[in-house]
Chains A and B, each alone.
Chain A
Amino acid sequence: MKLYCLSGHPTLPCNVLKFKSTTVMLDCGLDMTSTLNFLPLPLVQSPRLSNLPGWSLKDGNAFLDKELKECSGHVFVDSVPEFCLPETELIDLSTVDVILISNYHCMMALPYITEHTGFTGMVYATEPTVQIGRLLMEELVNFIERVPKAQSASLWKNKDIQRLLPSPLKDAVEVSTWRRCYTMQEVNSALSKIQLVGYSQKIELFGAVQVTPLSSGYALGSSNWIIQSHYEKVSYVSGSSLLTTHPQPMDQASLKNSDVLILTGLTQIPTANPDGMVGEFCSNLALTVRNGGNVLVPCYPSGVIYDLLECLYQYIDSAGLSNIPFYFISPVANSSLEFSQIFAEWLCHNKQTKVYLPEPPFPHAELIQTNKLKHYPSIHGDFSNDFRQPCVVFTGHPSLRFGDVVHFMELWGKSSLNTVIFTEPDFSYLEALAPYQPLAMKCIYCPIDTRLNFIQVSKLLKEVQPLHVVCPEQYTQPPPAQSHRMDLMIDCQPPAMSYRRAEVLALPFKRRYEKIEIMPELADSLVPMEIKPGISLATVSAVLHTKDNKHVLQPPPRPAPPPSGKKRKRASDDIPDCQVLKPLLSGSIPVEQFVQTLEKHGFSDIKVEDTAKGHIVLLQEAETLIQIEEDSTHIICDNDEMLRVRLRDLVLKFLQKF
């Protein structure tokens, strides 16, 4: 059993598991932090961005000044943003049989895999995952395609040139494999390969293994996966949460008794408690708006935003913010808000029950009805007519490199009354803000990451007790910035095995059993013999038939009829002859009785020696030695076959045959 690790990002995993005869890809996350190296794509012509000076080498050589721009001491690539794909060279991706998706954030690389690697397999995911994943992809494609950029920089990627660049460009990994965003056509084609599944549904893969999605409590439709054969069980835990937010709670019990538990997608901000962060978010929002400032919340169009809107729903009246407009701007804003209300069966119990009232499960419906929350596909069109300040704007993309957020950063960045509040934990907020410096706007970082923290993980591991834990290497040591926090790492016994990008792990367990069926007629013919109370044995002579990873013992063919005169070659000739087998022996030899028997049969001068494994009976006169051990008996005599056979028969008297 092997695990090929194609992504080094702990929360955007992409691993391939070879288990029995199947090749299963676990998630295909897309690392978008690479886009932080690029200049933002403004929706409206930005004089500031277009007038940034080109970057030149120390010696004054300015041949890169078209590709690289400098802003407040940082250098950015002036080109269409590119993403860092999962490793494609480590394993031939066309051999992947299935891809299991655990949540909508972990499928963003799917079009790259399904459309460009010769992949012919099947993709499994839950319905909300697919629908919301589609929205995220649609938004991404839309953000990038609606601001076409003529230029595509590639010179800087040259290894010799990259060496000369300042950090972080110098240290960016695998830049040659970075790719531009996929197209909507590729998205559609990729999504068409997805087979929808429901929680606890058992899916057979070639008869060899069975995969099952379980609720993981992190997002609408998010799942963990069980991959099991008859005797082995691998659990794949990715992006799970034990907090009570909107999705169905996490199913922990089904993870019990795993041989291997692959653990990814823990919280990226282990020191921040989501509740505290929500409080921080609300307080800062209120303080800004009270002073007449605007609040910008860069976010994804689905996920935490639902919970934030719910908190605000309860908070705005108490904070006297009832008159402040909330805007949600995304090409998929409308679909996201509506979709969330129709996936009732995937919601937490509380919200499910609302459906029967009937009430919309999420209170953002009421915010929309009362005109407190308005949503628009983009800043163009209706929004510009309705726009009123001070206000709160939720919009993407959290990297601040594309999407409507770029416009608001340019618009509001100059005033210290305004605040940008970062709630998505995927991007370093300082790096995200770098191309906007100098910035007068206040910046508040309250990342809300509801995924498991290390305390919850250690409880979970105690509860489900897997034999082995496999996780990204980042989880096996404290975060570099807090090297003393020994509590911020996975602590389990035996220690977790860690992986990093482009590594192949041999998982530490051997398959010892395989299930074989016996045909009823064969089973009928067996004659078990009880050798110990409760244990019966029978010899089986059969033909092992293996097809589609299922093994069946069938009755042996009847002995071939006596050869006819014709010497024609027949099919039955290929069947090996069923020779008459020697009987099997069982039982043990009581040494004292054996010696007595020997004496009875005329052997004298018998000496018994005890050895570590049993006994040696020495027949000194006959210069013969009988070694009796637990599972074997040897008679060693010099070329006296008669004597050996005599002795053998005496030994056999003590054993049972069948």
Chain B
Amino acid sequence: MDPECSRLLPALCSVLADPRQPVADDTCLEKLLDWFKTISEAGSSLLLLQENPCLVELLFQVLRPQDLSARVLSFSLRLAGIFAAQEDCFQYLEQGELLPGLFGEAGPVGQAAWTAPTVRSGWIQGLRSLAQHPSALHFLADCGALDTVFSLQGDSSLFVASAAGQLLAHILGLSMRGPAEGLPSLQAPDWPACAQKIVGHLEESLRSTAPPQVTQALNVLTTTFGHCHSPWTRVLWERLSPLVACLLEEDPLPAAHSLVDLLLSVARSPVLSSDCGLWETLAQTLRHLSPTQAGPLALGILKLQDCPQALRAQAFGVLLQPLACVLKAADQAPGPPGLLEGITGDSVTVDTLLSSKSACAGLLCRTLAHLELLQPLPQRPSPWPQAPLLGAAVTILQFCNGSAAPASNVGGRLCALLAGCVRVQRAALDFLGTLSQETGPQELVTQVFSVLLEHLRSPDSSATVLKKAFQATLRWLLSSPKTPGCCDLDPHTQLFLRELLPVLQKRLCSPCWEVRDSGLEFLTQVTRHWGGQAGFRHVLLTSEVPELAEQLLRDPESYVRASAVTAMGQLSSQGLHATTASPEHPGGQQKSLLVELLRILSEDSEGFPRRAVMQVFTQWLRDGHADVTEDTERFVARVLQAASRDLDWEVRAQGLELALVFLAQTLGQPGSHCPYAVAPPQATLHSPPAQALQALCRVRLFEFAFRALFDCDRPVAQKSCDLLLFLRARTVPHSGPQEAGGSPDVVSVEAALQRWRAGEQGPPLGDLEPETVLAVLRSMDLEGLRGALAESSDHVEESPQSLLQDVLAAVGVLGENQADCY
């Protein structure tokens, strides 16, 4: 601890211990605890206490009967725990009778303060911190704290209850460490006292008829088996598994959710998973749980690395059950030999599906989400029933939009329950998108595309459903196979695109801005991937989509304008932007997109469209877009000028990005020096440095970068610093020995920089000479600046010293205010 802090500490302790001086807020106490924790982790706590007796004094204050606030009490308990984590310090404190006083029966337990959840929470956290060594275990066994922890498991505060459970798991693990490590016998007397007591409590809870108690015990066990993989856990499981098995025989199953967690935690434990009985228990549980509860267990089982094939098959069957019901209800054969074939719609699943709209939607959404998680995993079941799953997803979507033909009463009821159910539609579209990773029988793929088209076309599709439908369509389009021997799109896709574009056209005219936005996003993505495909280009150019997208540059909604900018940027990059007469000047002058985007950059009132323009421009510069290469310098100059005036820091930062690309292109291939480097497509340009610097001066890149260096937003300043450092590294070696320092130009630039640093605006620098710039660059301490910028802006305010001062000042200020009142 630095001396200044040591000096402030006694004052702090006396403020904390004084009930008349309320502490301003919890956050500073939390910060203090963090600080003490760091100190005690770095060195000896005992030494710390001995050097700062005020701390022990503070802890003793708690024992005195007085009105300490709950938050200070809680703080002291946690602080004591942090110190007592080290065994020597623990003993020091125990000798002073401090620990029994804080955590024993004489402490806050049972006193009035105990009613505050924050005190109970502090008590538990204090114990959790100190329970690190054998001495702590003895202490816990002796002072009766365990019984209190048991009762806190059912605390009204969820945080306290959960922390109590975790503390028990921790103590159990700690007590089994050391002498008991290895394989204790099943017999209780061989176990350490603490462990005996906890296990006894767990056994009792598992036998209890009250579901909350069972849940508590299961949660403790889940934590234990999840965190500790020592051999003794195997004995513990052997001892407790008969009780768990008894739970499985009850109907209804108590605490099903926690039971699933426990079983999965046991199954994941490397020590326990070789137990054959466990697989039998899991199989039994799967049979026993309701379809809604069984899903998470089935998914967990399928994620396990090594588990018997039969159990995996059973678990997969459980997951697929609801989908099998749906397929059956629509009288769809589950397709060519797939896993669904063997699964008949279980009547319990059917009952759950048909019980109510929310139950039906809930079960289907959960099932689809589970399968979506499973799909990309390497250990997913093989063979993966792609075709039946595709069929099921399509059928669910058809039920939702009323186009499915139900084959039975179950189907009719499903149809009524699912009609227009947005939640299920979204889940099914997501799932359908995931399934695009693999293909399926052509007939089914055709169905997929037609159901997607139906959703995109339907006036009843809500905005969120449309978004998902666009996303799924994109994934399926991009995964569709190319015609062998031909680089263009296959005929089915072409046909689909021809039907899709009129729909997209209509969606771009939707009165709902979310829909227009998703439409534009889709257009951007599909153009990015397929802009070069002749088939796509043809269909797109014969539609009105590009014109509509351009019109949306003037949309009243800023998100839509931003998306339109991105889309138009992409279309233009791919040469898909047909320049048309603008509506204002019918038949008149042609208006270039570049001009329109520049207008948005300088005039748009919202940040999103301007950021999008900057991104498009940067991309255009990288790609050597025709409109840019026409006069690159003029382009860069105009963009930088607009960006430098922008109020949005992201636009300014993006301006630096663009400047960097220009820099790289002008100075030639920067190699590994620059993390942002992208090789310009038209081969590297090795312009002579002087000429290159002239160009940089002409576009006023330096003025932009120098201003940005003192930007009030740190990311902009950092970026500018990086850019100038890169520039200096590239140019200074070339600049030769001439010394321009002291010239009048340099002086004026440096003066301007000083003013900017001070936050003044100041006039523009005007035309700069390369030599002046180089001289300024050489004279600047850019490395130092980078170091300063790398530190967070509040690094000074965050220091412990400042924290202590703050706490004291706050109290002092409070005191003054009180005086003012009188």
Residues of A within 8 A of B (CB): 271-273, 276-280, 282-284, 286-287, 290-291, 311, 314-315, 317-320, 446, 455, 482, 484-487
- Please name the residue on chain B nearest to A277 by beta carbon: B459
Q: Is the CB of B557 within 8 A of A273?
A: no
Which of B55-63, B413-421, B736-744, B755-763 touches A? B413-421
Known A-B contacts A279-B515, A315-B511; the reply to A446 vs B416 at CB < 8 A is no
Q: Is the CB of A290 within 8 A of B544?
A: yes
Q: Is the CB of A486 within 8 A of B459?
A: no
Which residue from B412, B551, B557 sits with its C-beta under 8 Å from A484?
A: B412
- Please name the residue on chain A nearest to B405 by beta carbon: A484
Which residue from A278, A291, A446, A455 sits with its C-beta under 8 Å from B511?
A: A278
- Please name the residue on chain B nearest to A285 by beta carbon: B509
Q: Is the CB of A279 within 8 A of B510?
A: yes
Leading 6 A-B pairs by shortest Cβ distance: A487-B416, A276-B459, A280-B459, A283-B509, A286-B509, A486-B412
Instruction: Collect the chain B residues with CB atoms within 8 Å of residue A276's CB.
Output: 458-461
A-B contacts, 21 of them at CB < 8 A, read: A273-B459, A276-B459, A278-B511, A279-B512, A280-B459, A283-B506, A283-B507, A283-B510, A287-B506, A287-B509, A287-B544, A318-B556, A318-B557, A319-B511, A320-B554, A320-B583, A446-B459, A484-B411, A485-B416, A486-B416, A487-B417
Instruction: Collect the chain B residues with CB atoms within 8 Å of residue A280's CB.
Output: 459, 506
- Please name the residue on chain A nearest to B551 by beta carbon: A320
Besides A276-B458, A277-B459, A282-B509, 10 other CB < 8 A contacts? A273-B460, A276-B459, A280-B459, A282-B510, A283-B511, A286-B509, A290-B548, A317-B556, A319-B509, A455-B420
Query: How far, in angstroms, from A318 to B516 measured CA to CA in the complex?
Result: 11
Q: C-beta contact mask, B314-338 vs A, less than 8 Å → 1, else 0?
A: 0000000000000000000000000
Which residue from A272, A317, A319 sits with its C-beta under 8 Å from B459?
A: A272
Instruction: Collect the chain B residues with CB atoms within 8 Å of residue A320's CB.
Output: 551, 554, 583
Query: How far, in angstroms, from A487 to B510 measured CA to CA in the complex?
Result: 29
Q: C-beta contact mask, B459-494 vs A, less than 8 Å → 1, else 0?
A: 111000000000000000000000000000000000
Query: How far, in angstroms, from A314 to B557 measured CA to CA in the complex?
Result: 12
Q: Which residues of chain B (508-556) have a CB below 8 Å from chain A?
A: 509-513, 515, 544, 547-548, 551, 554-556
Q: Is the CB of B506 within 8 A of A271?
A: no
Q: Which residues of chain B (398-425) have a CB below 8 Å from chain A?
A: 402, 404-406, 411-413, 415-417, 419-420
Distance of A281 from chain B, by nearest CB (Å): 9
Instruction: Collect the chain A residues with CB atoms within 8 Å of residue B735's CB.
Output: none
Q: Which residues of chain B (65-116) have a CB below 8 Å from chain A?
A: none
Which residue from B402, B461, B505 sits with its C-beta under 8 Å from A482?
A: B402
Query: How far, in angstroms, from A317 to B548 measured CA to CA in the complex?
Result: 14
Instruction: Collect the chain A residues with CB atoms within 8 Å of residue B411's CB.
Output: 484
Instruction: Collect the chain A residues with CB atoms within 8 Å of residue B506's CB.
Output: 280, 283-284, 287
Q: Is the CB of A484 within 8 A of B406?
A: yes
Which residue from A273, A311, A318, A485 sits with its C-beta under 8 Å from B415?
A: A485
Instruction: Collect the chain B residues with CB atoms within 8 Å of residue A485's CB.
Output: 402, 415-416, 419
Known A-B contacts A317-B556, A320-B551, A485-B415; the reply to A282 vs B511 at CB < 8 A is yes
Distance of A279 from chain B, by nearest CB (Å): 5
Instruction: Collect the chain A residues with CB atoms within 8 Å of residue B415's CB.
Output: 484-487
Most buried by A among B415, B459, B460: B459
Instruction: Collect the chain A residues with CB atoms within 8 Å of residue B512's CB.
Output: 279
Distance of A310 from chain B, by nearest CB (Å): 11
- Please name the residue on chain B nearest to A323 by beta carbon: B583
Which residue from A277, A279, A318 sits with its C-beta under 8 Å from B555?
A: A318
- Please name the residue on chain A nearest to B506 by beta carbon: A283
Which residue from A272, A291, A319 sits with its C-beta under 8 Å from B544?
A: A291
Instruction: Collect the chain B residues with CB atoms within 8 Å of residue A446's CB.
Output: 459
Distance of A617 from chain B, by nearest CB (Å): 55
Distance of B176 from chain A, by nearest CB (Å): 58
Which residue from A315, A317, A486 sits with its C-beta under 8 Å from B413?
A: A486
Most buried by A among B416, B419, B507, B544: B416
Distance of A191 from chain B, by nearest CB (Å): 38
- Please name the residue on chain B nearest to A276 by beta carbon: B459
- Please name the residue on chain B nearest to A289 by beta carbon: B509
Query: How far, in angstroms, from A521 to B548 measured CA to CA in the complex?
Result: 86
Known A-B contacts A279-B510, A318-B557, A482-B402; the reply to A487 vs B459 at CB < 8 A is no
Q: Which residues of chain B (546-598) have a CB below 8 Å from chain A?
A: 547-548, 551, 554-557, 583
Instruction: Collect the chain B residues with CB atoms within 8 Å of residue A283's CB.
Output: 506-507, 509-511
Q: Is the CB of B460 within 8 A of A487?
A: no
Q: Which residues of chain B (730-756) have a CB below 8 Å from chain A?
A: none
Distance of B429 from chain A, by nearest CB (Å): 17
Q: Is the CB of B459 within 8 A of A311?
A: no
Known A-B contacts A484-B415, A487-B415; the reply to A272 vs B511 at CB < 8 A is no
Which residue from B402, B406, B505, B511 sits with its C-beta under 8 Å from A279?
A: B511
Instruction: Collect the chain A residues with CB atoms within 8 Å of residue B419's CB.
Output: 485, 487
Instruction: Collect the chain A residues with CB atoms within 8 Å of residue B547's CB.
Output: 290
Query: How far, in angstroms, from A272 to B401 measured CA to CA in the complex?
Result: 11
- Please name the residue on chain A nearest to B417 by beta carbon: A487
Query: How far, in angstroms, from A280 to B506 measured CA to CA in the complex?
Result: 8
Known A-B contacts A318-B511, A318-B557; the reply to A279 vs B459 at CB < 8 A is yes
- Please name the residue on chain B nearest to A478 by beta carbon: B412
- Please name the residue on chain A nearest to B409 by beta carbon: A486
- Please name the residue on chain B nearest to A316 by beta carbon: B511
- Please name the residue on chain A nearest to B457 by beta carbon: A280
Instruction: Collect the chain A residues with CB atoms within 8 Å of residue B459's CB.
Output: 272-273, 276-277, 279-280, 446
- Please name the residue on chain B nearest to A458 by beta carbon: B416
Known A-B contacts A276-B459, A277-B459; the reply to A287 vs B505 at CB < 8 A is yes
Instruction: Collect the chain A residues with CB atoms within 8 Å of residue B554's CB.
Output: 320
Instruction: Collect the chain B residues with CB atoms within 8 Å of residue A282's CB.
Output: 509-511
Instruction: Collect the chain B residues with CB atoms within 8 Å of residue A290's CB.
Output: 509, 544, 547-548, 551
Instruction: Collect the chain B residues with CB atoms within 8 Å of residue A319's CB.
Output: 509, 511
Distance of B414 from chain A, by nearest CB (Å): 10
Query: How far, in angstroms, from A320 to B548 measured CA to CA in the complex?
Result: 10
Query: How far, in angstroms, from A49 to B289 measured CA to CA in the complex?
Result: 72
Query: How far, in angstroms, from A450 to B513 measured CA to CA in the complex?
Result: 23
Q: Is the CB of B402 within 8 A of A271?
A: yes
Q: Which residues of chain B (658-697) have a CB below 8 Å from chain A?
A: none
Instruction: Collect the chain B residues with CB atoms within 8 Å of residue A484's CB.
Output: 404-406, 411-412, 415
Distance of B406 from chain A, by nearest CB (Å): 5
Instruction: Collect the chain A residues with CB atoms within 8 Å of residue B555's CB.
Output: 318
Distance of A492 from chain B, by nearest CB (Å): 14
Query: How far, in angstroms, from A284 to B557 measured CA to CA in the complex?
Result: 20
Query: How far, in angstroms, from A430 to B254 measured CA to CA in the complex?
Result: 60
Distance of B7 from chain A, by nearest CB (Å): 65
Query: How far, in angstroms, from A280 to B557 measured CA to CA in the complex?
Result: 19
Query: How far, in angstroms, from A291 to B548 measured CA to CA in the complex?
Result: 11
Instruction: Collect the chain A residues with CB atoms within 8 Å of residue B402's CB.
Output: 271, 482, 485
Distance of A479 from chain B, by nearest CB (Å): 11
Instruction: Collect the chain B residues with CB atoms within 8 Å of residue A486's CB.
Output: 412-413, 415-416
Instruction: Collect the chain B residues with CB atoms within 8 Å of residue A284's CB.
Output: 506, 509
Distance of A380 from chain B, by nearest CB (Å): 31
Instruction: Collect the chain A residues with CB atoms within 8 Å of residue B515's CB.
Output: 279
Query: How far, in angstroms, from A484 to B544 measured CA to CA in the complex?
Result: 38
Query: How far, in angstroms, from A277 to B583 measured CA to CA in the complex?
Result: 28
Distance of A285 from chain B, by nearest CB (Å): 8
Distance of A257 from chain B, by nearest CB (Å): 26
Distance of B49 from chain A, by nearest CB (Å): 68
Query: How far, in angstroms, from A280 to B507 measured CA to CA in the complex?
Result: 9
Distance of B756 from chain A, by nearest CB (Å): 41
Distance of B568 from chain A, by nearest CB (Å): 15
Query: How far, in angstroms, from A455 to B421 measured CA to CA in the complex?
Result: 12
Q: Which residues of chain B (706-749) have a CB below 8 Å from chain A?
A: none
Q: Is the CB of B412 within 8 A of A311?
A: no
Known A-B contacts A273-B460, A482-B402; the reply to A314 vs B412 at CB < 8 A is no
Q: C-beta contact mask, B418-458 vs A, less than 8 Å → 1, else 0?
A: 01100000000000000000000000000000000000001
Known A-B contacts A276-B461, A277-B459, A320-B551; the reply to A314 vs B511 at CB < 8 A is yes
